[in-house]
Structure 1
Amino acid sequence: MKFSSQIKPISYLKSHTAEIVRELSEKREPLLITQNGEAKLVVMDVKSYEELEETLALLKILALGNREIEQGKFRDAEDVFAELDK
């Protein structure tokens, strides 16, 4: 994940919470929080989080579909349409 300049220590999060909330809502870029120089959390606005969750759900559906195709669990489109036409 790319964070550019959005990396702050946990002390910054504690002392600038309102400002961080405003910035995250406006910029919609995640903020990486460090503790003792190590990455510990990612903070993001709710809309970005919901979009991320939707994207992950779609990727899971695609992965399941690919797995079923690899296992031969599919029908030709022509067969499906022929059955629908009956």
Structure 2
Amino acid sequence: MRYSSQVRPISYLKANAAKVLTQLGELREPLVITQNGEAKAVLQDVASFEKTQETLALLKILALGSQEVTAGKVKPVGDVVARLRAKRAPA
């Protein structure tokens, strides 16, 4: 996705806030807001934001898992399954 087509100055946002919000919901593309010619903020619809946050959370979980594997903090799946079955078995 190219963000260059979705760049607007802050004055545009001030004058067209309702229109901008409608377009964000329809297009599902982020909008870069500039001030004095510099990118200052990014606006996006709530659904896209939530999806991004979920994706980031999953990536963090994967990174943590990878770090644990590298650090040797893992157990063979067979051992884990056997331990779970032993806990579940009636005494």
Please say whether Structure 1 and Structure 2 have the same fold, judged by a TM-score greater than 0.5.
yes
TM-score range, shorter chain: over 0.9
TM-score by length of 1: 0.92
The 4+ residue runs of structure 1 with deviation greater than 4 A are none
Partner of 2:77: 77
Deviation of the 1:83 alpha carbon: 2.2
| Bigger proportion of residues as helix | 2
Matched, 1:54 2:54: yes
CA deviations on 1:31-78 (whole Å, 9 max, x unpaired) are 000111110000011111111111111111111110111100011112
Gaps of 5+ in 1: none
TM-score by length of 2: 0.87
Partner of 1:36: 36
Greater C-alpha Rg: 2
Gaps of 5+ in 2: 87-91
Matched, 1:13 2:13: yes
Superposition RMSD on alpha carbons, in Å?
1.3
